Structure 1
Amino acid sequence: MIKFNALNLLLILMSTFTFGQECDCEANFLWAKKTFEENDAGFHYTIDKKGQDTYNILNQKILEKAKGAKTLPECQSVIYEWSKFFRSGHFGFSIIKNDHNQNNVIDKKKIKEQPIVKIDYSKFEKRINLISTPTLEGVWSDGTYKIGIIKTADGYSGFIINADKTNWTPNQLKFLINNNKEEADLWMKDFSKRENLKVDIIGNNLINIGNVLYLKRLSKTYEDTQEIKDYIKFLYAGNKSYFQILSGKTAYIRIPAFDLDYKKQIDSVIAANSVNIEKTENLIIDVRYNGGGADTSYEKLIPFLYTNPIRTVGLQHLSTPLNNEVMLGLSKNENFDEEHQKAYKEAYETLNNNLGKFVSLSDEIVKVKKLDKVLPFPKNIAILINNGNASTTEQFLLSAKQSKKVKLFGTTTRGALDISNMSDVVSPDGNFELRYGRSKSYRIPEMAIDDKGIQPDYYLDNSIPNKQWVEYVQKIMEE
């Protein structure tokens, strides 16, 4: 299964850039519609649920809108509206951002009218160096912008100190955090304004504004607690997994992604710490915001959570010439050994001999995984989950939930698993990329995950901040 990245999709759909290039949206819609109808494994499943008449009415409505859409963003918005009829995940329609069509046009009037924070920077710098107790006032950076924050009557004003390679100039107001430090108005790169974004102050030296702007304090810095240091490590781990001993009773492993590219790194972390895991009573596996990847990337975790045979319901592939080209490409992929390449080639041939049909590439609809032994330790395993989990990560959770050792803690997952194995195809005019699914799970409709998600055994509500989840779950496990 290919990774569903909710953050990337959000950035695509909510892009604040203006693409001035015109396009033939009607032609692009008809292409996307035809390609999706012929190749997506979930198309007829949706039509059976919602009805052909309802779909026909939607198509007529979208076609009229497409005729009036003249720019790339307008067209993308129209076709995205159409796509929501099918499912919320494992689908994409995005502008291909390249030199040909990425024409970032920023309104010069907006730049000129941007509010200015009148301040003497040298005096401001001396002032913050005298502050002994941490406040929001100080010098911050996200890597692109160097920003000063000063207390004003309206709240906390974030002003530009330096912003090379952007259209921003010193003293322009970048954001305004309200007096209770809970919400902010933020001006984006193109000077468009986003209002009432949630503000998360992480310890003494980090600020997250609406999951859009992450600021790290440059001066004056203050010491953070170990809990905050651990949470910051979690936030900035990127796609690297890591292991940590939390106490004599509890170990912790963070796995941010199951992408095939990270399998070796995941396996390496697990192998290097397997001795510690096998002698520790409790294990916390943190997969928050892990959007998926490849099933093989979580194989090394299974022995630690295994207590009884694990049943996995299989899937069937929709055989079309376009879909089958993916299998042919995998058979030539040098990242796979000869055995895997041969298997993909055989799969390609099987699919090609059954064009227009759903084809199972396995002799078994349900696979049952049996291991030789159950490890005495860890005795208890908590898996931290949230709305950022989808695809392969949800498949991992379906397997993990069958263990007597495992409980899920957190919030409901995204729900993007039933229609899977994603393909990307570029529009004839080269401006758009359509993403759709080539396979359909045998679980549906009796055990659908799409648009529903997987619920936790222990719901962690909003009164428990994200940065306290690990400590909170550790306390439950150890008590």
Structure 2
Amino acid sequence: MKIKLFVWMAVVFSCNLWNAQAQCNCKETLQKIILKIESEYPGFNTKTKDKFLYETLKKNALYSSENVRTDEACLEVLKGYTGFFKDRHIWVLPNQINQTVPRTETHTELLNINLKKFRKDIQKQKDEFEGIWKNDGYEIGIKKLSDKQYAGFIIKADPTYWKPNEIKFRLFSDGSYEYYSQDHSIQKGKYQMYDNALLSFNEIKSIFTKQLPSPALSANEMESKINEINGTYIKKISSKTVMIRLQYFSYSFVDQIEKLLKDNKKMLEEAEYWIIDVRGNGGGTDNAYRTILPYIMTNSIRRVGVEYLASPTLIQTSENYLKGIAKDSIKNKEDITSLKTRIAQLKSNPGKYVNYNQDKIAVDSISLAVKSPSQIVVLADNHTGSAAENFLLNAKQSKKVKIMGIPSSGVLDYANAMFFDYGCNNYKLLMPTYRSFRLPDYPIDNIGVQPDIYLDESVKDWIGFAVDYLEN
């Protein structure tokens, strides 16, 4: 159901809380984070059974916080405390909203250029960078300034933040870039050009497509290449085997994955074997892989449920999200009804654990695809986490799937993370909101989902190994 998305979307609403909070010194910040974790973290009681060890850690952290003089040093103290729980769904990170540099002190520079003349000139030259480029939010012109530098300048963008001809980024001959964010602060990294048509800023996951001069790639070819750059693509690697690369299960990739499967349906149905590569997939949403299950499963899926800690933050954030989706009551009718029921359950059980579905175990029937591969290998590594680990647990229940690789990341016992308001705006606190009914019998955190076939370090080519396993 779509309601599964509500907590992630609620993060948007919870972020609005930060502007109303106070600046705190390091000790005040740590004290409030401690209070929040001790009262609202679903794993707190389980992970602090050794009271002496926990209290000692807390005492030392508080002592260290008294002598901190910089934000960076404070962040290390905060991470030292939260690191005790060994839960990678607990994050403390700087609050960028609070740290935004005032516009008058940021990097703003206009490029002196005649756009009409520039459009005409670029049609005659063959420089791979010079031209007009676009992504979802910007139309950019790239002009060569010297043998060592190009400037990307604004043609069209949100006028709240940008003026025409303002420099958006600089490209340097050594492959590095300076990219000016919406607040005009600088981000640095490496760029890469693909097929003289796609410009990728690797660290910030932003890709621009060339518009003028007309690129050699068609629109469909560009889309396929972008998918490949983003680690989401399908490729036939032998006469019998197709590989599906899924590096992300983030919400922004849900529609892309569904379209990818639809566009390649014929190839997928004709393939005797599949390799699904989820190495490096840190998770996102279970909705991302739902369209794959009919092809790989052989039976229903037995799913272990979760229970949510009815904390003030979860209740407030849920109510905030309800207000948002209520603006379109017709489109969101089902979600509104379901969410109201959940909020009522939480309010009736403050400080207790709530199982929305009542049953601890659910059996999901899968409408199996008419045509599907006879065998599937799923490749996973120690960077496969969260929702991607849920995918592994589902896939393991199929009679025709083998998990191959090394143990996964191990971040699944406490999940569905959101930002928690704890009273200070120096740093953000992200925490999980539920715990799995697998506990304590079948923990995954810091252990990982175990592969059916372990690939030791002598195996350099995992895909080649998988093809050989399937076809020979």
Q: Same fold (TM over 0.5)?
A: yes
Residue number among 305, 323, 336 corresponding to 1:314 in the alignment? 305
List structure 1 runs of 4+ shifted beyond 4 angstroms. Answer: 143-149, 162-165, 211-214, 232-236, 372-376
Residue number among 471, 475, 478 corresponding to 2:464 in the alignment? 471
Alignment of structure 1 residues 430-445 onto 2, 5 Å? 430-445=425-440
Q: For the residues of structure 2 that align with 1:233 and 1:77, how far apart are their CA atoms?
A: 40
Q: For the residues of structure 2 that align with 1:100 and 1:260, how far apart are their CA atoms?
A: 27
Does the residue aligned with 1:461 lie in a helix, a strand or coil? Answer: coil
Alignment of structure 1 residues 12-161 onto 2, 5 Å? 24-48=25-49, 51-98=50-97, 100=99
Does the residue aligned with 1:472 lie in a helix, a strand or coil? Answer: helix
Q: For the residues of structure 2 that align with 1:309 and 1:379, how far apart are their CA atoms?
A: 17
Spell out, residue by residue over 1:313-333, the C-alpha distance to the aligned partner (whole angstroms, 9 max, x if none). 000000022111232234344
**TM-score after normalising by structure 2:** 0.67
Check 1:430–1:442 CA distance in 2 against 1; reply closer, same or farther (3 A cut): same
Q: Is the 8 A contact 2:301 2:366 kept in 1?
A: no
Corresponding residue of 1:182: none
Aligned residues: 366
Q: What is the CA distance between 1:381 and its match in structure 2?
A: 0.7
Does the residue aligned with 1:396 lie in a helix, a strand or coil? Answer: helix
Does the residue aligned with 2:229 lie in a helix, a strand or coil? Answer: coil
Does the residue aligned with 1:70 lie in a helix, a strand or coil? Answer: coil
Q: For the residues of structure 2 that align with 1:74 and 1:146, how far apart are their CA atoms?
A: 33
Alignment of structure 1 residues 26-425 onto 2, 5 Å? 26-48=27-49, 51-98=50-97, 100=99, 237-238=229-230, 241-334=232-325, 337-373=332-368, 375=370, 377-425=372-420
Check 1:383–1:347 CA distance in 2 against 1; reply closer, same or farther (3 A cut): same
Corresponding residue of 1:171: none
* Deviating more after overlay: 275-284 vs 346-355: 275-284
Q: For the residues of structure 1 that align with 2:178 and 2:303, how far apart are their CA atoms?
A: 51
Q: What is the CA distance between 1:400 and its match in structure 2?
A: 0.5
Q: For the residues of structure 1 that align with 2:179 and 2:427, how far apart are their CA atoms?
A: 30
Q: For the residues of structure 1 that align with 2:33 and 2:78, how far apart are their CA atoms?
A: 8
Check 1:85–1:242 CA distance in 2 against 1; reply closer, same or farther (3 A cut): same
Q: Which letter maps to 1:73? A: E
Among all aligned residue pairs of Structure 1 and Structure 2, give the percentage whose two residues are the same amino acid.
28
Q: Which letter maps to 1:342? A: T
Check 1:331–1:274 CA distance in 2 against 1; reply closer, same or farther (3 A cut): farther
Q: What is the CA distance between 1:263 and its match in structure 2?
A: 1.5
Q: What is the CA distance between 1:359 and its match in structure 2?
A: 0.8
Q: Which letter maps to 2:265? A: S
**TM-score after normalising by structure 1:** 0.66
Does the residue aligned with 1:398 lie in a helix, a strand or coil? Answer: helix
Q: Is the 8 A contact 1:305 1:381 kept in 2?
A: yes
Q: For the residues of structure 2 that align with 1:247 and 1:359, how far apart are their CA atoms?
A: 49
Spell out, residue by residue over 1:301-360, the C-alpha distance to the aligned partner (whole angstroms, 9 max, x if none). 111111122111000000022111232234344497321222112101111111111010
Q: For the residues of structure 2 that align with 1:44 and 1:386, how far apart are their CA atoms?
A: 30
Spell out, residue by residue over 1:44-100, the C-alpha distance to the aligned partner (whole angstroms, 9 max, x if none). 11123xx12221111111100011112111111001111111124111001112463
Does the residue aligned with 1:387 lie in a helix, a strand or coil? Answer: coil
* Deviating more after overlay: 270-279 vs 83-92: 270-279
Corresponding residue of 2:133: none
Q: Is the 8 A contact 1:426 1:432 kept in 2?
A: no
